[in-house]
């Protein structure tokens, strides 16, 4: 099953981009024996529309076009909070159900279009706080790597 990330905004070179790359490279390596592939990031430019609502609609169109068919997960502070083990098991269930891909969406400064969020299979929250998209990417990349280690029984994850 392919794992894809689509995000509004471009990360500049620097430690944040390097950290995302490091976790996604690890996830690619540890995901191969688990039939988890890809771990690609598509970056979309922020909309220049005049209102926040119009920007979100325009960005949602661009995000939809960048995503493969399959499960759609929105990263949203109003979403559901789940633990790392449950996150890993959810990914495994989708894989085992024969879903071709799971796409994770990270919105821009204005958030994600509400209609786009409602169309998702899962709205996922790392916290009720709002985080910059760079930090959300780092957290998502780390959790994807952690999920592969949980599913493979690797000792990286030492949670309860």
Is 128 within any annotated ligand binding site?
Answer: yes
Is 94 within any annotated ligand binding site?
Answer: no
Q: Which two three-digit tokens encode residue 109?
A: 């400064």
Is 75 within any annotated ligand binding site?
Answer: yes
Is 129 within any annotated ligand binding site?
Answer: yes
Q: Rounded to a whole number, what is the largest CA-CA distance in the chain?
A: 49
154: how many CB neighbours lie within 10 A of its CB?
Answer: 12
Q: How far is CA 148 from each of CA 62, 68, 77, 155, rounded to the nearest angstrom?
A: 29, 21, 24, 11
Q: Which two three-digit tokens encode residue 158?
A: 């030492």
Is 81 within any annotated ligand binding site?
Answer: no
d(CA 47, CA 35): 35
Is 1 within any annotated ligand binding site?
Answer: no
d(CA 20, CA 10): 13
Is 104 within any annotated ligand binding site?
Answer: no
Q: Which two three-digit tokens encode residue 133?
A: 């998209």
Q: Which residues are annotated as a binding site for S-adenosyl-L-methionine?
A: 75, 107, 126-131
Q: Which residues are annotated as a binding site?
A: 75, 107, 126-131
């Amino acid at each position: 099953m392919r794992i894809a990330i689509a995000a509004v905004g471009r990360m500049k070179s620097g430690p944040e981009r390097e950290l995302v790359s490091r976790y996604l490279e690890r996830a690619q390596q540890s995901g191969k024996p688990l039939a988890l592939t890809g771990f690609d990031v598509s970056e979309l430019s922020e909309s220049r529309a005049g209102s926040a609502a119009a920007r979100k609609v325009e960005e949602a169109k661009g995000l939809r076009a960048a995503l493969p068919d399959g499960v759609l997960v929105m990263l949203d502070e109003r979403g559901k909070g789940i633990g790392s083990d449950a996150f890993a098991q959810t990914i495994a269930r989708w894989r085992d159900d024969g879903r071709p891909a799971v796409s994770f969406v990270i919105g821009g400064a204005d958030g994600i279009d509400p209609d786009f969020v409602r169309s998702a299979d899962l709205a996922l929250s790392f916290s009720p706080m709002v985080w910059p998209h760079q930090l959300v990417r780092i957290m998502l990349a780390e959790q994807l790597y952690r999920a592969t280690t949980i599913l493979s029984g690797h000792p990286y994850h030492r949670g309860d």
